[in-house]
Chains A and B, each alone.
Chain A
Amino acid sequence: MTDTAEADAAPAARRGSGLARWFNRRGWADLTIATPYVWLTIFFLLPFMIVTAMSFASRTPTSPPFSFGVHDSFLNFENFARLFEDDLYRRAFLISIRNAALATLLCLLIGYPMALGLTRVSRSARNILLMLVILPFWTSFLLRVYAWMGLMGTNSWFNRLLTSIYNGLVPDDWAIRSIQMMHTNFAVVLVTVYSYLPFMILPLYANLEKLDLTLDEAAMDLGSRPFRVFLDVTLPLSIPGIIAGAMLVFIPACGELIIPGLVGNPSQPMIGRVISDEFSSARDWPMASAVSVALLFLMVGPMMLYSHFEAKAQEKKAMEP
């Protein structure tokens, strides 16, 4: 390195002690990289590696309740075999994927027009509306779920309103006293959409805002109807935004623990519940680890890889002049 040589040539006495000189020359840069690196390695990577290793252990009545090599081989693949054999896990995975996919789709159907609408209002209105999209995201997640518990209960004004609308529409002998919303998968999907909608709107808005409106105008001038313009121009260009938003909704929705815990059907647990029950109630650490690893590799892994390559492509684009 040439600038290191230059620094050595500078009069050393003026630069203070050796430590300060090291810090000024390149120590600060090394520390800037190393400190977060070491922190994340110890407190994120290492725990995750322990869990991965533990998914190949066996449950034993010891403390801590696991050991390796209880059976013939050192690694125990039985936990993963049980994932496919036991109906509990397969059902939990299916319910999680179904609820999360439905929620993602609904978020897209509501969030896309909202994001597009945000790009079409005046600049001052846009800033206020964006603030209003972000504001619920800053308030407590738990309390937002709780707000819906108040609305969905059988005695609430919302439930009674929906019930009376329903009773007004159907013949008299179909009339019901209230709608059972709490403790259903419907409630889980509804509250998931409510909680994660900002995650869909914001990346979509960021993407749509950058689109060149002159493209729309050109298509219009060439005789396209507005909806055709949307299908042929806007939609294809916004696919990166759609994927980013869908990922931000789908992944946390799959592993969601709070929403199904409060408004979901207790007899149809989602995968997050299964992991946490396996760990604390059954004290089966290896099985809880195996379910976690499976969740990561089946659902999160492919998406992480995608986002990694996406980020790299972005970086490359940013580095180009």
Chain B
Amino acid sequence: MNRRPVFLMSVLAFGFAFFYVPILSMIVFSFNNARLATVWGGFSTKWYAKLFSNDQVLEAAWLSVRIALTSATVATILGTMAGIALARFKRFRGRTFFSGLVTAPLIMPEVITGISTLIFFILISNLLEAAFGWKTQRGFTTITIAHITFSLTFVTAIIQSRLRDADIAVEEAAMDLGSRPWQVMKDITLPIISPAILSGWLLAFTISLDDVVITSFTTGPGSTTLPILIWSKVKLGVTPDINALATITVCVVGLGVIIAGVVLSRAERRRDLDAQMAYRANE
């Protein structure tokens, strides 16, 4: 196009201002000296000091990280399996149903997932107590199971789209050269999709770290994750120490995503380069 699309560019600028002004404002006010969270009263880092001396916050953060590590790892394994099954096994019994089952948690409103999972856990716990006299309590395990179920579908979506784009000819070539399907999977397909597996894990990790609604339904007494703690504080209004906590979260996550993005794109570029070299060497 030879004409500069002025309208599009101004909407783009407005959109990015819309995205980032609230976050920047929050970051600025986390260094506010005043007690009132929204009126500026000089620079101070006291809210950060207060935050790091708060055991409740540190404990909640540690629980959140433990849940996120566990659920992201299991969700990545299960989600990768489902992605491979849907992208590479064209025919198996119940395939249509399976693909519906995998996408359903993605579009199900979180409240409904939360309520149904909670009812399920309560009934199971009643059953265990009635049958074996085994008293169970909701907490780490139930939250982790709910997070796995919810986030594995995101991993599946990533793996599936990566496998759809991947060159199937390489796998077929290995097959023609006498490799067995399992060998092809292990030596060719899995290495090809390893960046997608990593980004799936990262997504599952942040989804778990961030979740409020499903966690609030599946948590039990004594298991307060960081988002649940923030939720209960934020309901009472804006406070400066939450601004500080938010700033730390935004900075850590932002940095992590940028680093991961750079590493992944560099790995991808190197592989493309290798492929080109190999291609040229063969010519």
Q: Measuring CB to CB, which residues of chain A are less than 8 angstroms from any residue of chain B?
A: 23-25, 28-29, 31-33, 35-37, 39-41, 43-48, 50-51, 54, 64, 110-111, 113-114, 116-118, 120-121, 129, 131-136, 138-151, 153, 155-158, 194, 197, 201, 213, 216, 226, 247, 251-252, 254-255, 257-258, 261-262, 272, 275-276, 279, 285, 288-289, 292, 295-296, 300, 303-304, 307-308, 311, 318-319
**Which of B4-54 touch A at CB < 8 Å?**
5, 7-9, 11-12, 14-16, 18-23, 25-26, 29, 36-40
Q: Contact: A28 with B119, CB < 8 Å?
A: no
**CA gap between A47 and B40 in the complex, in Å:** 49
Q: Contact: B253 with A308, CB < 8 Å?
A: no
Q: Contact: A36 with B123, CB < 8 Å?
A: no
Q: Which of A23, A120, A139, A142 contacts B182 (CB 8 A)?
A: A23
Q: Does B63 contact A (CB under 8 A)?
A: no
Q: Contact: B257 with A37, CB < 8 Å?
A: no
- Inside 8 A of B79's CB, which chain A residues have their CB? 36
Q: Contact: B78 with A143, CB < 8 Å?
A: no
Q: Does B192 contact A (CB under 8 A)?
A: no
Q: Does B110 contact A (CB under 8 A)?
A: yes
Q: Contact: A24 with B107, CB < 8 Å?
A: no
Q: Does B164 contact A (CB under 8 A)?
A: yes
Q: Contact: A142 with B149, CB < 8 Å?
A: no
- For B183, the closest partner residue in chain A by CB is A24
Q: Contact: B9 with A64, CB < 8 Å?
A: no
Stretch at the interface among B131-139, B227-235, B271-279: B227-235
Q: Contact: B115 with A143, CB < 8 Å?
A: no
Q: Contact: A146 with B119, CB < 8 Å?
A: no
Closest chain B CB from A67 CB (angstroms)? 13
With A146-B238, A153-B238 given, can you name 18 additional A-B contacts, CB distance below 8 Å? Answer: A28-B181, A33-B98, A36-B152, A116-B8, A117-B9, A132-B19, A138-B206, A140-B250, A142-B230, A146-B230, A150-B26, A153-B38, A194-B18, A197-B19, A226-B1, A257-B110, A279-B115, A311-B103
Q: Contact: B210 with A47, CB < 8 Å?
A: no
Q: Contact: B5 with A37, CB < 8 Å?
A: no
Given A28-B182, A139-B253, does the pair A146, B107 have CB atoms closer than 8 Å?
A: no
Closest chain A CB from B277 CB (angstroms)? 23
Q: Which 3 A-B pairs have the closest CB atoms?
A: A255-B109, A47-B120, A117-B8
Closest chain B CB from A6 CB (angstroms)? 10
- Inside 8 A of B108's CB, which chain A residues have their CB? 48, 296, 300
Closest chain A CB from B205 CB (angstroms)? 10
Closest chain A CB from B140 CB (angstroms)? 16
Given A144-B23, A216-B1, does the pair A257, B111 have CB atoms closer than 8 Å?
A: yes
**Which of B235-262 touch A at CB < 8 Å?**
235, 237-238, 242-243, 246, 249-250, 253-254, 257-258, 261
Chosen A-B contacts, 22 in total, with CB atoms closer than 8 Å, are A25-B182, A28-B185, A35-B81, A36-B79, A37-B101, A39-B148, A40-B105, A48-B116, A54-B119, A114-B11, A138-B206, A142-B212, A142-B227, A147-B26, A151-B25, A247-B107, A255-B110, A258-B231, A279-B118, A289-B119, A296-B109, A304-B104
Most chain-B CB neighbours within 10 Å: which of A33, A129, A251, A254?
A: A33
Closest chain A CB from B236 CB (angstroms)? 10
Q: Contact: B105 with A129, CB < 8 Å?
A: no
Q: Does B180 contact A (CB under 8 A)?
A: yes
Total interface residues in chain B, CB < 8 Å: 93
**CA gap between A50 and B112 in the complex, in Å:** 12
Q: Contact: A318 with B85, CB < 8 Å?
A: no
- Inside 8 A of B126's CB, which chain A residues have their CB? 64
- For A273, the closest partner residue in chain B by CB is B111
Given A36-B82, A150-B26, A158-B25, does the pair A252, B112 have CB atoms closer than 8 Å?
A: no
Q: Contact: A113 with B102, CB < 8 Å?
A: no
Q: Contact: A150 with B182, CB < 8 Å?
A: no
**CA gap between A70 and B234 in the complex, in Å:** 42
- Inside 8 A of A272's CB, which chain B residues have their CB? 109, 111
- For B93, the closest partner residue in chain A by CB is A33
- Inside 8 A of B113's CB, which chain A residues have their CB? 44
- Inside 8 A of B98's CB, which chain A residues have their CB? 33, 37
Q: Contact: A120 with B5, CB < 8 Å?
A: yes
